[in-house]
């Protein structure tokens, strides 16, 4: 067969080819590095490779990253408003780290068989779907197999289980994180179906080739809403962004994609996932925050934020600034050691003490040095979301750090204790969280992004029992529910709201659903959104909310 004829024959099979390390001078060897040929839906890119008729684009395979119960009550989204029959017709597809099918949040008690339109399936060993999780696939073209990764849709990171249950988890009584935030855990549309497309692996690594393949499958399977809590750290042109490309083809098939805005705030032009046909979701606080107080030996009480479940029983321990425990043999100066960086602390000086650090750290270095606890400093003074650590810990403001350091400097034997975290009412909610990425749109400034905010701070949801519960990957504790923050958490809230509208209005287009959510968003910090505003999308009695309100 002549070359031209052969190319004409192959062109339909080479609609999209992802290459690794392919440069203009390497075109002849590039074909050897094709990871995946995408046929069904992604055929509309610009021509660029070897003048092959029918080939629209070839782009490098890049790596993307993941973006981390009370929340539904806070936004006024009461349970059971729509009802099981309508919700059960909607399928939410999530591109994430997988899902833990045995979690109580995904039980299918009382649920009917999947909708007749559903064409998906479960792929992978040791994984069983039910009438709740009706589809599950996994993708790993880059062989991202860490020590805890499983070659199946099963989740070993926790992230995908958390986002799935936030969007559509069943009601679970008595859910909590070591007793914190105890109550009923539920998703926004607890009777909707879930389809998981596992594209992310250890350390939140996600291949663009896998993401595009997952979009293809989700579209063909028949999902109604796609939820994607991941993205790039730096701006990527639309034509090279697999989420922009995949969501465009989903939009053409009547499927809205909800994206996380990114966690690179509060800096301008930091927003991720800015394609105009997607719903880009920023993160806001809810009316609950987790406070872990510090009590100094002089009786002074300081307010810190932490999801601290370690109980020191009020016992005071010696208090030391990290800079006074510098490991000089490792070349650490007091100024550097004050940040409590790994290897820069003298274990002998830290042992059995609470350490004051000038930055946010994982806490693992203090634990390794046999420290009792750690008081960290939020150098940005944001203090609008809390984290969990592997030892007694809390995070204070710069102003309070100065108070602690002055106490240490003026006291012969300084002591302190860290109290167990408590849930306090946050009267300032809802406000955009400091970490939430901001606009303007870095590629097309005339297109406003993000589109909307949703709860993304201190969200309790289901977790994988194989995953570490704190920001320290060496944390050996295990939980069934976890509290984490990020636009990864706000995205499934918006996905659930979109699914809710879709259930009530199955013929609405992605643009109509997006418009309904944006134009009924609330600008009022202390407002509540009645369920009807979700169901109908637009209530003529209400003013248009605009693109910066919480839904």
Q: Which domains does the chain have, with CATH numbers?
A: 3-61 (no CATH), 65-283+430-521 (3.40.50.200), 288-425 (3.50.30.30)
pLDDT on residue 148: 87
Cα-based distances in Å from 275 to 71, 220, 263: 27, 22, 17
Non-local CB neighbours of 51 within 8 Å, separated by 6+ positions: none
Q: Report whether the peptide linkage leading into residue 313 is cis, meaning its omega lies within 30 degrees of zero.
A: no
How far is residue 238's CA from residue 276's CA, in Å, rounded to a whole number? Answer: 10
Non-local CB neighbours of 100 within 8 Å, separated by 6+ positions: 106, 154, 155, 161, 462, 463, 464, 465, 466
pLDDT on residue 333: 95
286 within 8 A of 255, measured Cβ to Cβ:
no
**Which residue numbers are catalytic?**
96, 159, 488
The tokens describing 128, both together, are 């069983």
pLDDT on residue 263: 94
How far is residue 211's CA from residue 510's CA, in Å, rounded to a whole number? Answer: 20
133 within 8 A of 196, measured Cβ to Cβ:
yes
User: 219: helix, coil or strand?
Assistant: helix
How far is residue 27's CA from residue 57's CA, in Å, rounded to a whole number? Answer: 13
How far is residue 469's CA from residue 466's CA, in Å, rounded to a whole number? Answer: 9
pLDDT on residue 520: 85
Question: Which among 448, 428, 477 has a CA at the least distance from the CA of 310?
Answer: 477
Cα-based distances in Å from 418 to 169, 210, 360, 472: 34, 44, 16, 19
Residue 455 has, within 13 A of its CA and on its CB side, a CA count of 29
Bridge partners, 60 (sequence order): 19
How far is residue 291's CA from residue 289's CA, in Å, rounded to a whole number? Answer: 6
pLDDT on residue 5: 42
Distance of CA 27 to the CA centre of its chain: 37
How many Cβ atoms sit within 10 Å of the Cβ of residue 413? Answer: 7
Going by DSSP bridges, is the β-strand pair 452-455/317-321 parallel, antiparallel, or unpaired?
unpaired
How far is residue 345's CA from residue 367's CA, in Å, rounded to a whole number? Answer: 11
User: 359: helix, coil or strand?
Assistant: coil
389 within 8 A of 292, measured Cβ to Cβ:
no
Terminal C-alpha separation, the chain: 59
What per-residue string of b and e applies to 241-257 under the rule 16 or more CB within 10 Å gives b? bbbbbbbbbbbeeebbb
Non-local CB neighbours of 153 within 8 Å, separated by 6+ positions: 98, 99, 122, 123, 124, 127, 136, 137, 138, 196, 198
How far is residue 249's CA from residue 243's CA, in Å, rounded to a whole number? Answer: 10
Q: What is the DSSP letter of 118?
A: -
61 within 8 A of 232, measured Cβ to Cβ:
no
Low-confidence ranges of the chain (pLDDT < 70): 1-59, 64-70, 72, 74-84, 523-551
Beta-strand ranges (E) seen in 155-297 are 172-177, 180-185, 193-198, 200-201, 205-207, 225-228, 230-231, 256-260, 279-284, 288-291, 294-296
């Amino acid at each position: 067969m002549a070359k031209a004829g052969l190319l004409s024959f192959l062109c339909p099979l080479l609609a999209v080819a992802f290459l690794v390390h392919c440069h203009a001078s390497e075109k002849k060897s590039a074909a050897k590095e094709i990871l995946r040929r995408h046929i069904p839906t992604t055929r509309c890119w610009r021509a660029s490779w070897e003048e092959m008729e029918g080939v629209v684009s070839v782009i490098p395979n890049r790596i993307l990253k993941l973006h981390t119960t009370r929340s539904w009550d806070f936004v006024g989204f009461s349970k059971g408003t729509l009802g099981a029959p309508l919700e059960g017709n909607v399928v939410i597809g999530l591109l994430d780290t997988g899902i833990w099918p045995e979690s109580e949040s995904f039980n299918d008690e009382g649920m009917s068989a999947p909708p007749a339109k559903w064409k998906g399936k479960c792929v992978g060993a040791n994984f069983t779907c039910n009438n709740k999780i009706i589809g599950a696939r996994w993708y790993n073209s880059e062989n991202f197999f860490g020590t805890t990764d499983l070659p199946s849709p099963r989740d070993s990171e926790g992230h995908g289980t958390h986002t799935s249950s936030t969007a559509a988890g069943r009601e679970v009584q008595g859910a909590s994180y070591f007793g914190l935030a105890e109550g009923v855990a539920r998703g926004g549309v607890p009777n909707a179906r879930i389809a998981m497309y596992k594209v992310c692996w250890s350390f939140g690594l996600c291949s663009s080739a896998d993401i595009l393949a997952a979009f293809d499958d989700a579209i063909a399977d028949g999902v109604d809403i796609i939820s994607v809590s991941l993205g790039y750290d730096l701006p990527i042109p639309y034509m090279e962004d697999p989420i922009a490309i995949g969501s465009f083809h989903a939009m053409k098939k009547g499927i809205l994609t909800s994206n996380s805005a990114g966690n690179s705030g509060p800096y301008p032009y930091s927003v991720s996932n800015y394609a105009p046909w997607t719903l880009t979701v920023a993160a806001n606080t809810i009316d609950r925050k987790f406070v872990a107080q510090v009590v100094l030996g002089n009786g002074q009480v300081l307010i810190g934020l932490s999801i601290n479940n370690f109980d020191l029983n009020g016992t005071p321990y010696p208090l030391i600034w990290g800079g006074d425990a510098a490991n000089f043999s490792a070349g650490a100066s007091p100024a550097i050691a004050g940040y409590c960086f790994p290897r820069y602390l003298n274990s002998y000086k830290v042992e059995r003490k609470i350490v004051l650090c000038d930055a946010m750290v994982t806490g693992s270095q203090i634990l390794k040095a046999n420290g009792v606890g750690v008081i960290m400093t939020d150098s940005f003074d944001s203090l609008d979301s809390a984290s969990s650590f592997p030892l007694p810990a809390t995070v204070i403001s710069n102003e309070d750090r100065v108070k602690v350091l002055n106490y240490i400097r003026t006291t012969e034997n300084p002591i302190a204790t860290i109290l167990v975290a408590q849930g306090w009412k946050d009267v300032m909610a809802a406000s955009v969280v400091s970490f939430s990425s901001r606009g303007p749109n870095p590629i097309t400034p005339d297109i406003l992004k993000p589109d909307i905010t949703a709860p993304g701070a201190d969200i309790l949801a289901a977790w994988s029992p194989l995953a570490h519960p704190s920001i320290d990957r060496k944390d050996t504790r295990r939980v069934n529910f976890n509290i984490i923050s990020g636009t990864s958490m706000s995205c499934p809230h918006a996905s659930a709201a979109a699914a809710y509208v879709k259930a009530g209005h199955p013929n609405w287009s992605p643009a109509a659903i997006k418009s309904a959510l944006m134009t009924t968003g609330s600008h009022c910090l202390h407002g509540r959104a009645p369920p009807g505003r979700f169901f109908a999308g637009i209530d003529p009695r209400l003013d248009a909310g605009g693109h910066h309100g919480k839904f």
